[in-house]
Structure 1
Amino acid sequence: MATAPESPLTLPDVAREPVALARPLDWVGMDNIALPVRIAGEDGATVQVAASVDVAVDLGDAAARGIHMSRLYLGLQQAFATEAITPGGLRKVLQGFVDSQRGLSSAARLVVRYAHLLNRPALASAHAGWKQYPVAIEATLRDGHLKLALSLAVEYSSTCPASAALSRQINAERFAEDFAAARPLSPEVVRDWLASERGMAATPHAQRSRADVRVELKPAFDELPVAALVDLLEEALGTPVQTAVKREDEQAFAELNAANLMFCEDAARRVAAALSADPRVDRFDATVAHYESLHPHDAVARVSG
């Protein structure tokens, strides 16, 4: 006579045991999960990129010892497998995380960090190159309300206005010294002098700089405007760092720097003005840092609105 198959072994679940210190918790989950995600590329096509993801839910049941953490992980593996990240998609994913906890949670949050690549044309030549922008997408769903925020950074060049003024003064003094003797001055003579080594007695100091921005988005827009915000910030600052550079591009970059002299305070105000006027932005926090070539420390300005 055949014997009945043994019943599957019941595995212990200590998470069901009584909690020693009853208290609800704000967030419980996992940070820095490696995950491929899909984002909208420059041509509208979906692009897969490597990301680091934080996921969490609240633990509203004070008597529960813990959440069903593996359900968050497994749900995350499928969340962005086939579709690009959108506000609507994030809402659906977050609601799925809440539902997976079977009454333990009423809120969920995600943070997706990745490097956004944009192809940028050279300033004067026909070349182009890729630039990488660090991006973080923050999404929180609480009581059915979705909140979205984007964090990103752009690098630019900053030329010191004070240093430029001091350099102009020295250049003017040398001009007066070289042309002190009475002699006729023609445009050609002055042009040749300016193009010579004598025509540059001093140069202002400039440095690579960075603007780190976090914006909270209005719910009326069903998009994540990463590229649009990068363009907005780079246009406001005027001197974004370049990719492919030939001599004509370097000269054009020098012209841009001369036309956009700025202290860190100036840069912060430019960023604030651009973000304040953007209809997609509800509020923002921005930090600009000029990595000084004159000093061993950085010049920093922060602004919010």
Structure 2
Amino acid sequence: MGNRQRLRPVQRGGRVNACIIEDIQGRADSRRIAIDKVGIKDILHPVRVKDKSCGEQHTVARFDMYVNLPHDFKGTHMSRFVEILNSHDREISIASFPVMLQEMLSRLEAESGYIEMRFPYFVDKAAPVSGVRSLLDYQVSFIGEIDNTGCRIKVKIVVPVTSLCPCSKEISERGAHNQRSHVTITVSASEFIWIEELITLVEAEASSPIYGLLKRPDEKYVTEYAYDHPKFVEDMVRDVAAMLDAEIRITAYMVESENFESIHNHSAYARIERIKPQPA
């Protein structure tokens, strides 16, 4: 695909007096094979995101923007995705997604659309004993989809935590193996919920949260805290799922946990996915 174009002279009154640019993408296609998603992937754009403690946070996001393409169209107009993205300047948020998705359907004459915005989000955290402050980054995604059934928005967050093995603790005379884990939650919500709220919810169910900077008293604390809160990967997803069940603003979720095992050359993994029943 792409924006390949060809100049074609136009003859009027026996002489060539103008040129038009032929729309190659607009040609008909004879293969009769529809395309589920076509568009642009991994384009960088500056954005502003709501920050619970500071009001807003400036960051850089990677965008994927797709629409469907009917079987009888040769191609889509790639430049229009970029135009839509730039028309919102830096005021792009989860609230912008329904508008952008509608613009995509209208300008690209599509029946379904998809936008994903991935960005690092920084939280200022205080160490548990010394109180020394440092920034910790989390990978966050806003995901929007639209079709003839409506518009759906999801938030995805990768939360790094510590997990300590209950089996290792039980059978060992000295210590227990622990590792860094990634707990990933993808949620749909009925109303606004802070990124920080979701991060705190996950970290509370881990063997221990992770911090950007720790002094010796902090390191002692988190080591002993993790030892007192051992979690299998199965425990992690069940405990987080229970908290997501209790949060009435969340209507659907997927929680995943990957433990990067410190005594194996593989990861342990578990996942729970659920659409919560809505009140009548």
Moved more, 243-252 or 294-303: 294-303
Count, aligned residues: 259
Ranked by relative contact order (alpha carbons within 8 Å, sequence separation 6 or more), the top structure is: 1
Alignment counterpart, residue 52 of structure 2, candidates 31, 35, 42: 42
Which digits, 9 at most, give the CA deviation of each residue in 1:210-242, with x for residues without a partner?
Answer: 212222x13x31x35322111110112251112
Q: Write the deviation string for residues 18-59 of structure 1: whole angstroms up to 9, x where unpaired.
A: 312134332221111111122112335332211110001222
Ranges in structure 2 where 5+ consecutive residues have no aligned partner: 1-15, 275-280
Match of 1:51 in 2: 61
Q: Within 2, Cα distance between the matches of 1:8 and 1:39? A: 47
Does the 8 A contact of 1:122 with 1:128 survive in 2?
Answer: yes
- Residues 199-278 of structure 1 correspond to what in structure 2 (within 5 A)? 202-215=174-187, 217-218=188-189, 220-221=190-191, 223=192, 225-278=194-247
- Using the alignment, how far apart are the partners of 1:238 and 1:161 within structure 2? 10
Amino acid aligned to 1:292: E
Q: Quote the residue 1:176 is aligned against.
A: none
1:69-218 matched pairs, under 5 angstroms:
69-79=78-88, 81-87=89-95, 89-101=96-108, 104-143=109-148, 145-167=150-172, 170=173, 202-215=174-187, 217-218=188-189
Q: Deviations over 1:232-277 (max 9, x none)?
A: 1011225111222112211211231122111112112112112222
Q: Which aligned runs of 4 or more in structure 1 are off by greater than 6 angstroms? A: none
Task: List gaps (5 residues or longer) in structure 1.
Answer: 1-5, 171-201
Comparing 6-15 with 271-280, which one deviates more in the overlay? 6-15
C-alpha deviation, 1:282, in angstroms: 2.1
Q: Which amino acid is 1:279 matched to?
A: I
Q: Secondary structure at the match of 2:82?
A: helix
The TM-score with structure 2 as length reference comes to: 0.85
Judge conservation of contact 2:69–2:75 (CA < 8 Å) in 1. Answer: yes
TM-score, structure 1 normalization: 0.78
Output the CA distance in 1 between the equivalents of 2:193 and 2:45.
Answer: 19
More strand by share: 2
CA RMSD of aligned residues (A): 2.0
Amino-acid identity (%):
24
Structure with higher helix content:
1
Structure with greater Cα Rg: 1
